[in-house]
Amino acid sequence: MESRGGVPARPPAYEGVWRFTAPAVDVSVPQARHAVRDLLKRQGVPLQDDAVQGLLLIVSELVTNAVRHAALLSPEVAVEVAIGPEWIRVSVEDNHPYRPKALETDAGRTGGRGLLLVREITREAGGVCDVEHTATGGKIIWAALPLRPAPSPAPPAPPAIPSPSA
């Protein structure tokens, strides 16, 4: 953290950890996406629009997977958003023990590529993603992306200073 005159700088106002739960049903997918989008706006997280869209797609894919594949053993899913000064991490936790793997691309399949998509979006953004087991036997699937603030508009060029006439 930078400081001014030996006084530590305060952390950005957007930093923190937010967690919410939702039933493992289809309607929770858009609700989770909207909740994360609203959180980013409310907290003033400095993300470019394409990064926000990628992050929201990751949330949609992870919640969709939990709803489709874990609902039998996990009637509720938890979504967590953790924001630091240089990164943002989204995770989805359920109580199903199966640890999924990203599937290879298969042009003949119409589904089953959600985690592959999550991995690609994360990689392109310069982030990382993984799956972890919980102490209760479930799992957490997460993706962490670097925070790259939207570029500020370039300041206007200073006016030309006329040279003194001789």
Domain total of the chain: 1
The structure tokens 């700088």 sit at: 9
The verdict on residue 72 lying in a domain is yes
End-to-end, the C-alpha distance of the chain in Å comes to 51
The verdict on residue 1 lying in a domain is no
CATH code (residue 75): 3.30.565.10
The verdict on residue 89 lying in a domain is yes
pLDDT of residue 103: 45
The verdict on residue 6 lying in a domain is no
Instruction: Report yes or no on whether pTM surpasses 0.85.
Output: no
pLDDT of residue 108: 53
pLDDT of residue 150: 46
Dist CA 34 CA 38 (whole Å) = 6
The verdict on residue 153 lying in a domain is no
The verdict on residue 60 lying in a domain is yes
Integer-rounded Cα radius of gyration of the chain: 21
Q: Which domain holds residue 34?
A: 25-146
pLDDT of residue 128: 94
What averages of pLDDT result for each successive group of 10 residues across the chain (166 residues)? Answer: 57 89 96 97 92 96 93 93 95 90 53 83 93 92 83 55 57
